[in-house]
Structure 1
């Protein structure tokens, strides 16, 4: 009679578990909770770690009301938070030797990227230092922040920077996840094993980084290309005239490119070594202004015979922007020196590649009547783009011009194809006319 009325204890447990999983899954579907993020910057003598911890999850584990008045959290609970974080991070070497963990910064900020809406997170910056003689490329991370109390939480572990491994990706390289092993009811230590790195790998990747910086830097390329518009031309009565010949064009090209290289190399080195600090916004505005001046010169000579000096002068400004990329890497002296060399090499390789696929077509077209309207049109469009960038960089707001430029830059390869087709057609047309004549 008892078994007919009441459900047995094992069955009750099973039903309860099914119901709990169902409720949690529905709740998770409706309001997915953000996970933690652990970003590692691997350096020869220490590992820099950045933690991104959602406050709504941290509150469940920390035991304090951290999600109420989050912007005042650090004023209320900084010592307690620091002690909590340090007590749940224990890196060790493979033989069990303990590392020193130092917390040096805490911040609270709002995050927008969440299906359930904006939320606040605590960002913590730490330094993990192994014992003398131990590698930072292989260690065991004992970590259970939030996880020790919230079984559904997990921490995503990624490498954001590893110079010797050639990692400078805009998207961190994912290593894995720390979460509960529900079968064994334990949180396993996470093994970080990055393999052998080396100077060549770091040097090579900084060269690639330099190439990407130019390839993605529409303003840097546009400045150089606008200067090249008039490079094949002679001047007549203070105006641009006809094609000056291959030797003349290449000589002017060499002067302009060399001067620009010298200019940006000087400030790249000075900025990367932090001899000088260059404010970002004025530099970006001046880069856009350099395009505007060069575009005006492509329409009518304003610094005839002094293009090399102008390229060198504006190169100094462009180099200031290049330097910021290396400063952000936080490298040691040797790595920084190799990175400056590799990054600059990458910049030059990409510039030479762009010149190699563009300048021959400009020389061919400069022999035709098509070149004058093409040159003026290209210069005016460049001036318009420069104006849009100047406005955007002063106001910090995009505008119609910059939006159009972003779309146009995405079709650069098709513009190059059109330029090549136009040059080839003009060449065949010119030969046909010569034969008929």
Structure 2
């Protein structure tokens, strides 16, 4: 029974997986005197889930369907954003509606203006969009004041935040982007499944066309370190280049290749091609995963005054989240390595499940369709 429990722990990431891009909205606020002007980008898929935009049920939301529900969209969104200054409410009203494309699909854009009673020196924002139906949703804020940019991330446990309109703290920006990096790797299930597919054979070795347990912990640890180091180095390179605008690749191509990388990594455990050179695979595909990380970082709205700081913080956050996964996986895998349960159910069975799921993602992303419920 305890082996079965440990097996479930190892495979939980495989069972709970869903699409790579989490539910986010993008809120930009510009403070000038008593006035706060804003732009709020909200995913149409999230609004459709919350209030139902697809009137004819054809799984394609049109501009006409959005226009027909504009007043309801305004009421739903603005009721979940409250701005205050000096303890007094700053009433906001929508002034313009647009549609924009992000890396993960179409977004409705609400432009609005709020007027405060006095000149704003400290702004309080309470954000509650989708928290009642999706506790993983986040609101990504970029606040502009006198040419200076600061950022914040709203979540259910940080729904109300206070902003002093002075030069933003570099330490706070670093911590915020680091936290976002950790969060992204933990809910970026295609990244996790790619890493797990590479790590599953770390505690076994291929001999006479069968997987056999390694005799000591050191070889397993060395194998893991090579894979993690190669993956980290590769995605750090392309994350930096893409964020700085040196290289740009189409999002659909990147996301499709990421799904393909998961398929290849999983199938390699069934029909070994790279054998003990899985670190090579980690490096080559890690270059593509870096572009996926960069799309998230770009959507966060990088502060020009602290670009390097935000980039380093996000990257370190990704590595921290990644090492936490490894720290949980490796001891459990090493403990179970000699069992048939690990070699058959976890290594081979888990790899098959990962390959099937990633193949579904690949078809969705290549053909721009949606049939998986996650």
Secondary structure of the residue aligned to 1:207 is helix
TM-score between the two structures when normalised by the length of structure 2: 0.61
Query: Structure 1 237/41 Cα, relative in aligned 2: closer, same or farther at 3 Å?
Result: farther
Which residue is equivalent to 1:338? Answer: 309
Asked whether 1:49 is paired with 2:34, we answer no
1 CA distance for matches of 2:305 and 2:109? 33
Structure 2 counterpart of 1:275, from 237, 241, 246? 246
Q: Which one has a bigger Cα radius of gyration?
A: 1
Structure 2 counterpart of 1:370, from 341, 344, 367? 341
Query: Structure 1 170/275 Cα, relative in aligned 2: closer, same or farther at 3 Å?
Result: farther
Asked whether 1:168 is paired with 2:153, we answer yes
Which residue is equivalent to 2:266? Answer: 295
> By how many angstroms is 1:214 displaced?
0.8
Which residue is equivalent to 1:347? Answer: 318
2 CA distance for matches of 1:337 and 1:356? 28
Which residue is equivalent to 2:187? Answer: 216
Structure 2 counterpart of 1:389, from 361, 364, 371? 361
1 CA distance for matches of 2:164 and 2:328? 42
> By how many angstroms is 1:271 displaced?
0.8
Contact 2:267 2:355 in 1 (8 A): yes
Tell me the alpha carbon deviations over residues 96-130 of structure 1, each in whole angstroms, 9 at most, x when there is no partner. xxxxxxxxx975459xxxxxxxxxx984499xxxx
Tell me the alpha carbon deviations over residues 248-298 of structure 1, each in whole angstroms, 9 at most, x when there is no partner. 000000000000000110010011101111211111111111111111111
Which residue is equivalent to 2:132? Answer: none
Query: Structure 1 122/250 Cα, relative in aligned 2: closer, same or farther at 3 Å?
Result: closer
1 CA distance for matches of 2:39 and 2:110? 7
Counterparts of 1:28-47 in structure 2 under 5 Å?
A: 39-41=27-29
> By how many angstroms is 1:174 displaced?
6.3
Number of aligned residue pairs: give it: 266
Contact 2:303 2:310 in 1 (8 A): no
2 CA distance for matches of 1:159 and 1:319? 21
Tell me the alpha carbon deviations over residues 219-272 of structure 1, each in whole angstroms, 9 at most, x when there is no partner. 110100111110111221354333242010000000000000001100100111
> By how many angstroms is 1:349 displaced?
0.7
Asked whether 1:259 is paired with 2:262, we answer no
> By how many angstroms is 1:330 displaced?
3.6
Counterparts of 1:2-13 in structure 2 under 5 Å?
A: none
> By how many angstroms is 1:358 displaced?
1.5
TM-score between the two structures when normalised by the length of structure 1: 0.53
Superposed CA RMSD = 3.8
Which residue is equivalent to 1:430? Answer: none
Counterparts of 1:300-339 in structure 2 under 5 Å?
A: 300-339=271-310
Contact 1:50 1:123 in 2 (8 A): yes
Counterparts of 1:109-148 in structure 2 under 5 Å?
A: 109=99, 123-124=110-111, 138=122
1 CA distance for matches of 2:350 and 2:187? 20
Unaligned runs of 5+ in 2: 1-25, 42-62, 65-85, 87-94, 101-107, 114-118, 124-138
